[in-house]
Chain A
Amino acid sequence: MAGLMAGFGHYTHAVVRGIPASLAKEALRTSQAEVDLTGARTEHDAYVEVLRTKLGLEVVELPADESLPDCVFVEDAAVVCGETALITRPGAESRRRETEVMKEALKDLNLNIVEMTDENATLDGGDVLFTGREFFVGLSKRTNQRGAEILADAFKDYAVSTVPVLEGLHLKSFCSMGGPGLIIIGSSEPAQKALKIMQQMSDHRYDKLTVPDDIAANCIYMNLPDKGHVLLHCTAEEFPESVKVFEKLKDHMLIPVSNLEKVKVDGALTCCSVLINKKANI
């Protein structure tokens, strides 16, 4: 009988998906870096292992689909909050079919499925920041106003504010939640602007943790029964300065997770999983 909006960060399940071989060559990307498929798969396995073994989540692994080179980034295919799952309509045409398997998986978890059928709507889960009290939806190349509206309709309990994403792929390309009321934000000008907007739009007060590297600001926060605050963040190998900032979080269990290869195709830590709390409400 947890009340409304209680237990931010409580998760019991995680949905992940394998990496298709097509990722190396065909996955969408903003840079031209060469992706080491094996390295990426190793990384991803380690990532899943953290979720499953270290954190004890029940992990649902979806099979990779070679026709969907970006399918590993399951976050964009669905937004789950409480017992409701919004199946998105990804902004990239090539990714639309990623939602099919996701929908079935979430159905199997007995979530209330809401589908985004409006053909004028696009929404990538990477543009959706849920703070525990409200949603911020980045209006980006991948997400439009209509998509945000549908999200607002799906989660009526919460305020849904829109935030323009002028640079970067997604809203969460430079920010994420680091705890209840704590926003981790990159130090770039666009990131700071976005934070300002979010603060202005919110009735709630958020603390901020600014890290030097925008992409390092993408972390996974959980609040688990026997582990307390857990933060999955980048490794010191990738962003040493940002890791120093995370190490100031004394109350958090800090788990560095390598993301060297996936980041080359704009994949951040949050992108690779959909977290679910099957006991969220009631």
Chain B
Amino acid sequence: MTTEAGSETEVKEKAEETSAQPDQSETAEQEGQEVANVEGEEKEKGKEKEGKEGKGITRYLPTWFKKQKSQSQTSPTKEVPPAGEPVSKATEGEEEPAPEVNGHAEEVEEKEEVKSEEAKEATAAESDSTASAETEPAREEKVEDATAKSEETTKEAAEAEGAEEEQKEKERQGHVEAEADGGESQTSIFQSPLRLVRKNKMKVVVCRVTLLDGTDFTCEVEKRAKGQYLFFKVCEHLNLLEKDYFGLTYKDSHDEKCWLDPTKEIKRQIRSNNWHFAFSVKFYPPDPSQLTEDITRYLLCLQLREDVSSGRLPCSFVTHALLGSYTLQAEFGDYEPDQPRPLDFISQLTFAPNQNKEMEEKILELHKSHRGMTPAQADIQFLENAKKLSMYGVDLHHAKDSEGVDIMLGVCANGLLVYKDRLRINRFAWPKILKISYKRNNFYIKIRPGETEQFESTVGFKLQNHRSAKKLWKVCVENHSFFRLNAPEAPTKARFLTLGSKFRYSGRTQAQTRLASSLIDRPAPSFERTSSKRISRSLDGAPVISITEAGSETAENGRDPHLELHSDSKSLEDEIASVLLSRRTAAEFYSAAQPQRSVQEPTLDAAATTCSAAAAAAAPTAVCSSSVSAPSATEVCAPQTEAAPADYTSSDTKEPAKTPEVEIEETVVIQEVSRAVKLGLVPVTADSPATPPAEPEPKPQDQIEKVEEEAAAVEEVKPVKPERASSESESEEEAEYQPNVAASITQTKIPEEKEEEEEEQMTKEEEQQQVSPPVVPAPPVEASEPAEELSQEEEEEAKKEDTSVVEEKKDDQEEKESGRETEESTDDPMVTPEEAPEGLILPDETLGAKPTEEQERPKMNGEASLVEVDPRPQVICCSEPPVVKTEMVTISDTFAAQKTEIATKEVPIVHTETKTITYEAAQLDGNGDGEPGVLMTAQTITSESLCTTTTTHITKTLKGGLSETRIEKRIVITGDCDIDHDQALAQAIKEAKEQHPDMSVTRVVVHKETELAEEEED
């Protein structure tokens, strides 16, 4: 504790500094960490054999060890003064590093929360932050496991919340909450730890973001920060809560505007030294009147004014005049008859591409008629007219049709539009699209057969190049997910194998963001409505939006976290919340992953079957089933589905519609699970009824078995890895996305699109069918299709090993899902929805789910074995199923860019198993001292030790011997039973935090397949 105190003081100081200059402080911390690392290295060299990571860890090892032990052993709340003292006594350098770590966390927290908090609190907070960081990796792992990142994240967040609650540690909870409140600050905290890990590479870059009012916002960002961090910074600056409609863009090397992926490192995306971004509307809300806050509408207005004046959003003379008049009313209030030469003034404003005197006169004339209208009302009127424009919210892409004719492809909320010279020549509503894919410079959509057609057709377009094809594909995936899904879909495992890009929309869907917005209860933030520079050059460039109310910001943070948690794991807040939980989940995943691996080989066949999809669904259901006695698998499934909807309803969020692919993956998992369980998982898929009840009980045994299997699996996995890499490379070239399933599911819930009555009915029917399939073992047509596709893909792309890997991934996903379900079910409504969809999709999943959980545990062991490859420090290695993992990874990435490095190793699909990648960075971050070498951990870590640790729970930390080992401990915790692990993890984390803020979770072993995907995506 003494050490802690010392560290705390230091931390406080640092925190203060950091508060003033977070980035700098971080850098400073990093430096300090580095120093500490150096010292530690010297000391450690003798002691530890581990690689770079080990060095960093070893430095801290003494302190960490003690602390970690105490943490792991003692309850989380307990602080270990003795441990702390020795640490403090240890060389200053050592102390410094620890404080640095704390400081990072503290800094963030302080910034957000209160700088003046007591040292203990700060340390605790730090510890929490560190914990969160650790958990992040876990989340990542989870994500990877889970097919849907978003779902996972939400679940994780929910889990995290639940875990926190479970911990019952009020103080810590308070800290956590505070962190959560911090929101962005939390995110920063998370990042900071990651940064610490990366410290070697840690560099601060000044980002320039052009806001919608034309002003520039500059902020410093760690060079390895992810897009989300910068985006949150901007939103914080803007005091924007409904941020999901917005995004950041950058110009790529070809001077084309690209969306900054929030889940990936900025640096890897921009691929240049031009850290210049633009804040823009990414998803145009079809009905702006449903936005909750005026400030959101205002920002949307700013975007639309630019769209209109630039000609991107074409409109008629009359509409130009009308929109311009509302702009005048909003920006300048009532028409002033006394104003001298109003035309001169107005002509300085740009309302239209071809603005002329006549139009300006018309604008003024209309402006007069708006007398008495408030700015907010004027904005609403502006939007009510703008939203009716046919090109509102349509993102156009140049393309050629099959005959080489130049066309434009427009992506919008309703689907894909095909234009030829301003004429709409075709339209594919989202419900009509079964699959979106691209290969090289070709972009394909598979169309659902019409009433009179028997076969689905595929329409292909030629894009300018591979980049533009991928860009279009990503936009389609994102728009479909945002507007059609209740919850984002996790990246699919199968796709990894078959198709290159794992990319999926990671943010909140419109349904989610609406729900979140409905929870906003802050007083309307006051913002300055200075006319934007673009429109009125005469006005000052003063930033349009100034954060007037600090309180409001805090409120935002607090609120946001919840929202974010639900919607996306990416949000820092969510991450924090999920940390503890995530750990648990991670453990589960690990365990599951390992068993899955073992199972995978057998599952290959099963995977091929579409039925497997149903089984996959079972996984989530299994969780539910555990609570509820499941008569038969089918029956169980039904309850789950029902339960899930109920949860959704409670949250108001719609059930997330998972993609068919996910289901498939899940199904695969189920099969695997069945094998591992020995219960006759196979029957479970088919005969789900018997299995569900049995599953819960057998879990321990199964786990054990699984562990063994996992070990075997691990070995298998290793060979797979190279394959994965290959698959990844392929992924870049092409990718698929099957919106239908999700869409169909969502459609049932979301009646947005109403095209043809018949079509709608058709879709509804289809949807129903899809939904029904889960209940009924026999896969519905749609469900079967996706499964088939997946199977095909697997067959084609994935080799036997790959397929096994895929299966593993699926298992992981299932595990994650199951974990989520269990945790989430109580906590996060959002999470439940995600689960629910899965459950809906796959009736058999219920059975499978339980097994998956069991498997997860065993996987933990298996993961541990995998971990062997990785250095111990990062113990948390997640051997998640390829697809799921990728998702998980992405989430983690969003949190901490640093982690991504580790993640890079991850291969999209199968390899995720091996993914046990240790997040040295995380540890490093936490330690702050951890040297770059940490990253090396992935291979070196003894799988056995890891496995054992995982199984042993916290004990693994001991393995590490080094202070770094703490992380391993956590891993161990995860490896253990889900619940126990979670609690243990939470406690351990808490303890660690309390005991040694320095100890903050430094290393998390995560299998990040996502990185590869990210690269590809990039």
Q: How distant is B97 from chain A, measured CB to nearest CB, in Å?
A: 58
Q: Report the Cα distance A282→B384, complex, angstroms.
A: 15
Contact A1 B423 (CB under 8 A): no
Q: A167 an interface residue at 8 Å Cβ cutoff? A: no
Inside 8 A of A196's CB, which chain B residues have their CB?
756
Inside 8 A of B427's CB, which chain A residues have their CB?
161, 200-203
Contact B424 A159 (CB under 8 A): yes
Q: Which residue of A lies closest to B313 (CB)?
A: A156
Q: Could you list 8 A-B pairs, sorted by A, with CB under 8 Å?
A: A3-B381, A145-B423, A156-B314, A156-B315, A157-B389, A200-B756, A203-B414, A281-B318
Known contacts A149-B423, A152-B423, A159 near B755 by CB under 8 Å: no
Q: Report the Cα distance A281→B323, complex, angstroms.
A: 12
Inside 8 A of A5's CB, which chain B residues have their CB?
388
Q: How distant is B489 from chain A, measured CB to nearest CB, in Å?
A: 24
Contact B423 A155 (CB under 8 A): no
Contact A4 B425 (CB under 8 A): no
Q: Give the residue of B315, B369, B423, B757 whose beta carbon is less than 8 angstroms from that of A157.
A: B315
Known contacts A134-B390, A156-B316, A157-B316, A200 near B759 by CB under 8 Å: yes
Q: Give the residue of B366, B384, B389, B424 whose beta carbon is less than 8 angstroms from that of A201.
A: B424
Q: Is the interface of B mostly helix, strand, loop or mixed?
A: mixed
Inside 8 A of B755's CB, which chain A residues have their CB?
199-200, 202-203, 205
- Top-6 shortest CB links A-B: A159-B390, A199-B756, A205-B754, A161-B424, A156-B314, A152-B422
Q: A223 an interface residue at 8 Å Cβ cutoff? A: no
Q: How distant is B887 from chain A, measured CB to nearest CB, in Å?
A: 31
Q: A160 an interface residue at 8 Å Cβ cutoff? A: yes
Interface centre among A133, A153, A204, A282 (most CB of B within 10 A): A282
A residues near B (Cβ < 8 Å) are 1, 3-5, 82-84, 112, 133-134, 137, 145, 148-149, 152-153, 155-162, 196, 199-205, 207, 281-282
Q: How distant is A273 from chain B, measured CB to nearest CB, in Å?
A: 23
Q: Report the Cα distance A162→B391, complex, angstroms.
A: 16
Q: How distant is B369 from chain A, measured CB to nearest CB, in Å?
A: 6
Q: How distant is A192 from chain B, measured CB to nearest CB, in Å?
A: 11
Q: Report the Cα distance A199→B426, complex, angstroms.
A: 11
Contact A148 B756 (CB under 8 A): no
Contact A160 B424 (CB under 8 A): yes
Inside 8 A of B321's CB, which chain A residues have their CB?
282
Interface centre among B362, B365, B420, B756 (most CB of A within 10 A): B756
Q: Report the Cα distance A260→B76, complex, angstroms.
A: 91
Contact A4 B423 (CB under 8 A): no
Q: B319 an interface residue at 8 Å Cβ cutoff? A: yes
Known: A4-B385, A134-B390. 9 other contacts (CB 8 A): A4-B322, A149-B421, A149-B422, A156-B316, A157-B319, A162-B424, A199-B755, A200-B755, A203-B755
Quick one: which of B370-396 are within 8 Å of A by CB?
381, 384-385, 388-391
Q: B317 an interface residue at 8 Å Cβ cutoff? A: yes
Q: Give the residue of B366, B426, B757 whose beta carbon is less than 8 angstroms from that of A1.
A: B366
Q: How distant is A235 from chain B, measured CB to nearest CB, in Å?
A: 30
Q: Which residue of A lies closest to B321 (CB)?
A: A282
Q: Which residue of A lies closest to B369 (CB)?
A: A1
Q: Report the Cα distance A281→B365, complex, angstroms.
A: 13
Q: Which residue of A lies closest to B755 (CB)?
A: A199
Known contacts A149-B423, A203-B414, A155 near B316 by CB under 8 Å: yes
Quick one: which of B303-325 are within 8 Å of A by CB?
314-319, 321-322
Q: How distant is B384 from chain A, measured CB to nearest CB, in Å?
A: 6
Contact B390 A201 (CB under 8 A): no
Inside 8 A of A137's CB, which chain B residues have their CB?
423
Q: Report the Cα distance A160→B425, complex, angstroms.
A: 9
Contact B318 A83 (CB under 8 A): yes
Q: Give the residue of A112, A161, A204, A281 whose beta carbon is less than 8 angstroms from that of B423.
A: A161
Q: Report the Cα distance A282→B319, complex, angstroms.
A: 10
Known contacts A3-B322, A200-B755, A112 near B388 by CB under 8 Å: no
Q: Which residue of B lies closest to A202 (CB)?
A: B755
Contact A4 B388 (CB under 8 A): yes
Q: Which residue of B lies closest to A81 (CB)?
A: B316
Known contacts A84-B316, A157-B315, A3 near B385 by CB under 8 Å: yes
Inside 8 A of B432's CB, which chain A residues have their CB?
200
Q: Report the Cα distance A196→B424, complex, angstroms.
A: 15
> CB-CB contacts of B407-439 with A at 8 A, as 1s and 0s?
000001010000011111111010010000000
> CB-CB contacts of B737-759 with A at 8 A, as 1s and 0s?
00000000000000000111111
Contact B381 A112 (CB under 8 A): no
Q: How distant is A157 from chain B, measured CB to nearest CB, in Å?
A: 5
Q: Report the Cα distance A201→B419, complex, angstroms.
A: 11
Inside 8 A of B362's CB, which chain A residues have their CB?
282
Known contacts A3-B322, A202-B755, A162 near B425 by CB under 8 Å: yes
Contact B759 A199 (CB under 8 A): yes
Inside 8 A of B426's CB, which chain A residues have their CB?
200-201
Q: Report the Cα distance A83→B316, complex, angstroms.
A: 10
Known contacts A82-B318, A149-B421, A160-B423, A3 near B384 by CB under 8 Å: yes
Contact A157 B388 (CB under 8 A): yes
Q: How distant is A159 from chain B, measured CB to nearest CB, in Å?
A: 4
Inside 8 A of B760's CB, which chain A residues have their CB?
205
Q: Which residue of A lies closest to B452 (CB)?
A: A196
Q: Report the Cα distance A176→B423, complex, angstroms.
A: 20
Q: Which residue of B lies closest to A83 (CB)?
A: B318
Interface centre among A5, A148, A201 (most CB of B within 10 A): A201
Q: How distant is B810 from chain A, measured CB to nearest CB, in Å?
A: 36
Inside 8 A of B317's CB, which chain A residues have their CB?
84, 112
Quick one: which of B430-459 are within 8 Å of A by CB?
432
Inside 8 A of B422's CB, which chain A residues have their CB?
149, 152-153, 160
Q: Which residue of B lies closest to A2 (CB)?
A: B322
Inside 8 A of B316's CB, which chain A residues have their CB?
82, 84, 155-157
Known contacts A134-B390, A282-B318, A205 near B385 by CB under 8 Å: no
Contact A162 B423 (CB under 8 A): yes
Q: Report the Cα distance A207→B319, complex, angstroms.
A: 28
Q: Report the Cα distance A133→B424, complex, angstroms.
A: 14
Interface centre among A4, A134, A201 (most CB of B within 10 A): A4
Q: Report the Cα distance A195→B79, complex, angstroms.
A: 74
Inside 8 A of A204's CB, which chain B residues have their CB?
754
Q: How distant is A205 from chain B, measured CB to nearest CB, in Å?
A: 4
Q: Report the Cα distance A59→B384, complex, angstroms.
A: 33
Q: Which residue of B lies closest to A205 (CB)?
A: B754
Q: Report the Cα distance A159→B426, complex, angstroms.
A: 12
Inside 8 A of A282's CB, which chain B residues have their CB?
318, 321-322, 362, 365-366
Inside 8 A of A3's CB, which chain B residues have their CB?
322, 381, 384-385, 388
Inside 8 A of B389's CB, which chain A residues have their CB?
4, 157
Inside 8 A of A155's CB, which chain B residues have their CB?
316
Interface centre among B366, B381, B755 (most CB of A within 10 A): B755
Q: Report the Cα distance A4→B385, complex, angstroms.
A: 6
Q: How distant is B483 from chain A, measured CB to nearest CB, in Å?
A: 12
Contact B390 A158 (CB under 8 A): yes
Q: Report the Cα distance A200→B427, complex, angstroms.
A: 6
Q: How distant is A129 from chain B, measured CB to nearest CB, in Å?
A: 14
Contact A205 B757 (CB under 8 A): yes
> CB-CB contacts of B348-379 with A at 8 A, as 1s and 0s?
00000000000000100110010000000000
Q: How distant is B424 from chain A, measured CB to nearest CB, in Å?
A: 4
Inside 8 A of A148's CB, which chain B residues have their CB?
423
Q: How distant is A189 from chain B, measured CB to nearest CB, in Å?
A: 11
Q: Report the Cα distance A162→B420, complex, angstroms.
A: 10
Q: Which residue of A lies closest to B320 (CB)?
A: A156
Interface centre among A83, A148, A156, A160 (most CB of B within 10 A): A156
Q: How distant is B283 from chain A, measured CB to nearest CB, in Å?
A: 16
Q: Report the Cα distance A112→B319, complex, angstroms.
A: 13
Q: How distant is A164 from chain B, measured CB to nearest CB, in Å?
A: 10
> CB-CB contacts of B874-899 with A at 8 A, as 1s and 0s?
00000000000000000000000000
Q: Report the Cα distance A196→B426, complex, angstroms.
A: 12
Q: How distant is A174 from chain B, measured CB to nearest CB, in Å?
A: 18
Q: How distant is B452 from chain A, measured CB to nearest CB, in Å?
A: 9
